[in-house]
C-alpha cells in the first residue's frame, strides 16, 4: 500500500502518539457520555490505548520483501510497551489514573493523592500494583500484536489448497 512506507522510528513514534491519545481520553469520566456511549466511548479509548498502537506501527513500517519477522520487529512490541509505560507513569502522576470504563470519577493526580490523607488517599503500594498490571498488559498485548501483524503482512498466514494442479492461495 502506498501509505505504509514509514521508517522504524516514525512507526514507533506514531504508535506512542496513539497510545498517549488513548491514555489522555481514558481520563474522561464515563458519566459525561450520554446513553449507549456511556459504555462505547471508554471501550473505544481502551481499544485506542492497547490494540491500535502496535498494529498501526507494525503495519506501517517498511521491510524488505523477504523479511517477515526480524529482531527489530520482535523487539518493537517490548520497546513500544516500555515507552508507553513511561508515558503512562507521567500521565498517572501528573494528571490522574485512568478511570474505570464501567463508571467512576477522576480523583486527581496520583502524586497529590499519595501526599494527602482522607478518602481519596492512594498508597504507593496500590499505585505500584496498578502500574505493574499496566506494564504486564502492555508488554503482552504489544508483543503479540506486533508479531501477529508482521506475520500476517508477510504472507506467513497464507496457505495453498488443494494440493495438485488447480491451486488456490487464501
d(CA 133, CA 117): 24
pLDDT (tens digit per residue) in 8-65: 888 899 999 999 999 999 888 888 888 888 888 888 998 999 999 999 988 888 765 5
Lowest average pLDDT, out of 3-12, 75-84, 107-116, 124-133, goes to 3-12
Beta bridge partner(s), residue 169 = 160
pLDDT (tens digit per residue) in 126-154: 899 989 999 999 999 999 998 888 877 76
User: For the chain, what are the domain ranges?
Assistant: 8-63+70-153
Return the residue matching grid coordinates 495453498: 160
What pLDDT is recorded for position 2?
Answer: 46
d(CA 23, CA 18): 9
Cα atoms in the 13 Å half-sphere on the side-chain side of 131: 20
d(CA 87, CA 92): 8
Amino acid at each position: 500500500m502506498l501509505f505504509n512506507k514509514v521508517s522504524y522510528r516514525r512507526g514507533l513514534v506514531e504508535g506512542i502518539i496513539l497510545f498517549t491519545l488513548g491514555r489522555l481520553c481514558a481520563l474522561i469520566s464515563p458519566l459525561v457520555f450520554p446513553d449507549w456511549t456511556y459504555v462505547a466511548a471508554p471501550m473505544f479509548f481502551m481499544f485506542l490505548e492497547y490494540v491500535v498502537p502496535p498494529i498501526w506501527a507494525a503495519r506501517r513500517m517498511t521491510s524488505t520483501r523477504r523479511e517477515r519477522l526480524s529482531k527489530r520487529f520482535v523487539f518493537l512490541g517490548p520497546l513500544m510497551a516500555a515507552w508507553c509505560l513511561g508515558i503512562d507513569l507521567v500521565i498517572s502522576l501528573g494528571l490522574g489514573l485512568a478511570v474505570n470504563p464501567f463508571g467512576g470519577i477522576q480523583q486527581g493526580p496520583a502524586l497529590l493523592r499519595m501526599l494527602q490523607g482522607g478518602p481519596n488517599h492512594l498508597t504507593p503500594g496500590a499505585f505500584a500494583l496498578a502500574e505493574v498490571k499496566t506494564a504486564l498488559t502492555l508488554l503482552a498485548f504489544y508483543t503479540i500484536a506486533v508479531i501477529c501483524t508482521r506475520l500476517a503482512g508477510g504472507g506467513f498466514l497464507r496457505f495453498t489448497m488443494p494440493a495438485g494442479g488447480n491451486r488456490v492461495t487464501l
